[in-house]
Structure 1
Amino acid sequence: MTTLLDVRGLRKHYGPFTALNGVDLSIAPGEFHGLIGPNGSGKSTLLKCLAGAEIPSSGTVAFDGVDVSTLPPARRARRGISLKFQITSVLPQLSAYENVQLAAQAHAGFFQLLLSQVRHDTAVTVEQLLNQFRLADVADTPVAELSHGHQQWLEIAMALAIRPRLLILDEPTSGMSVEERRVTGELLSSLKRDGCSLLIVEHDLEFIRDLCHAITVLDQGEVVATGSVSEIQANQKVREAYLG
């Protein structure tokens, strides 16, 4: 099977503390992969190493066959990796439309933005994402006035504005109502037809059960298990480390 993301022997040390200890992770094109584990297991550190916010102490992160382990976030984004952290990073005084528009223009040069075709393509992308994530009705609303659920959907739309090949989400349903979580699952499932791979950190195994093809479990910076949902649920090490 072709591999889009290939992580091998990833380690991250902060002084004497080891946050990641030899993590391996592979994601195929179009695969939806869940990442779970107890608090402090190293999930957020792993995501930062994948996105370039942190440089691993050792090991490699390869994307589409290219070693990106030491590349800065912007260069990884241009290669097709997009990440949404748990903490929102929208511009609250701007409208939903303007936020997605800025995200879509992030990697375009000044002279590119002067071209009418580029402006047209950007507008089409923004409209498509607003419709896809149920934001069309609030497109002109300042983000500060949007519900928490709408703000989370907006950030996912912004992360997709650069048309990434791999979308990484850090607890996108945090703070959502039951109905908002259900809708979020439907919205993310729609990405499968676009061929975009997904790596999602989520505490709720039930949420990712019907969404992901495979799940990796971290505990104390190490991979406890990787497999299907049924395999993870039946794994005794996982039950001891995470499921209780």
Structure 2
Amino acid sequence: MALLEARGITKIFGKLTALNGAELTVAENEFHGLIGPNGSGKSTLMKCVAGAEVPTTGTVTFGGRDITQAPPAERARAGMSLKFQITSVLPTLTLYDNVLLALQAQTSLPSLLFSRTRGVLHDRVMAMLEQFRLVDQAADPASALSHGQQQWLEIAMALAPEPRLLLLDEPTGGMSLEERRVTGELLQPIKKRCSLVIVEHDLDFIRDICDRLTVLDQGSVLDCGSVPHIQSSPKVQEVYLRRA
């Protein structure tokens, strides 16, 4: 059984049909890329999966459960975590406290009121910072980080609750070539414990880390398959040449 299935997803905004019967299937421990020209519906499909938008028609199933109408908080409790393109770290807080807050979001109110969680969660916070090469800056404010490092911090925050599925919307936007390379290295180890759906314009980056790709064009799925299949697909080549 697939971890995530989005079936017949249509999303209409007034007179605009952003998605028209789009489909997405993601297996356990799979890295799945969403690609396509600008305006093809990638981010809208991601938002329908995450609960930021409700499909006009269609269904979203996660772990065998229909979550089409479920709010984002309910999806998070079920094991889904999302990072949008714009960073949402708290710049005046330390890196440590940013990750700690991401973990405390799962904690009961009484435990937070009596400050029981900081010591209990310390090892997990430091492990996440270590994994994303930020542990030496744990006590620094997030505002001191470069753009790329802020992206890594937010991915660490999204992974801290140990989700079953991580959704990333253009995580390498604004990064240098070296930061993009490192980002790929940092993401690879999570495949052992988490599936990934990633929207990305950098085709070289997404090709190097993903198992399968879904290509959208004008709100519909143009093609889906392995990276070699998509690279050799005449339909995909024609769309990218047409939009070049």
Say yes or no: TM over 0.5.
yes
Give the 5 Å matches for 1:79-90: 79-90=78-89
| Helix, strand or coil at the partner of 2:25 | strand
| Helix, strand or coil at the partner of 2:162 | coil
Indicate whether 1:189 and 2:188 are aligned. yes
Give the 5 Å matches for 1:129-168: 129-168=128-167
Q: What residue is the counterpart of 1:200 in the other structure? A: 198
TM-score by length of 2: 0.95
Q: What residue is the counterpart of 1:51 in the other structure? A: 50
How many Å separate the matches in 2 of 1:119 and 1:3?
A: 36
Give the 5 Å matches for 1:100-115: 100-113=99-112, 114=114
Counterpart of 1:165, as a letter, is R
TM-score by length of 1: 0.95
| Helix, strand or coil at the partner of 1:38 | coil
Give the 5 Å matches for 1:170-185: 170-185=169-184
Q: What residue is the counterpart of 1:209 in the other structure? A: 207
Between stretches 50-59 and 233-242, larger displacement belongs to: 233-242
The unaligned stretches of length 5 or more in structure 2 are: none
How many Å separate the matches in 2 of 1:225 and 1:138?
A: 43
**TM-aligned CA deviation for residue 148 of structure 1:** 0.8
**TM-aligned CA deviation for residue 15 of structure 1:** 1.0
Q: What residue is the counterpart of 1:73 in the other structure? A: 72
Q: What residue is the counterpart of 1:17 in the other structure? A: 16
The partner residue of 1:218 within 199, 216, 229 is: 216
Counterpart of 1:203, as a letter, is H
Q: What residue is the counterpart of 1:8 in the other structure? A: 7
**TM-aligned CA deviation for residue 120 of structure 1:** 3.8
Counterpart of 1:230, as a letter, is P
| Helix, strand or coil at the partner of 1:18 | strand
How many Å separate the matches in 2 of 1:219 and 1:121?
A: 47
Q: What residue is the counterpart of 1:229 in the other structure? A: 227
| Helix, strand or coil at the partner of 2:209 | coil
Counterpart of 2:212, as a letter, is A
The partner residue of 2:236 within 229, 235, 238 is: 238
Deviations 1:4-58 (A, max 9, x none): 0011001100011100100111101100001101111111111111111111101
**TM-aligned CA deviation for residue 115 of structure 1:** 7.5
Q: What residue is the counterpart of 2:29 in the other structure? A: 30
**How many correspondences in the alignment?**
241
Deviations 1:131-190 (A, max 9, x none): 000010111111111111110000000101111000000111111111111110000001
**TM-aligned CA deviation for residue 95 of structure 1:** 0.9
CA contact (8 A) 2:87 2:154 kept: yes
Q: What residue is the counterpart of 2:39 in the other structure? A: 40
CA contact (8 A) 2:32 2:213 kept: yes
CA contact (8 A) 2:100 2:118 kept: no
CA contact (8 A) 2:4 2:27 kept: yes
How many Å separate the matches in 2 of 1:35 and 1:205?
A: 10
How many Å separate the matches in 2 of 1:121 and 1:75?
A: 25
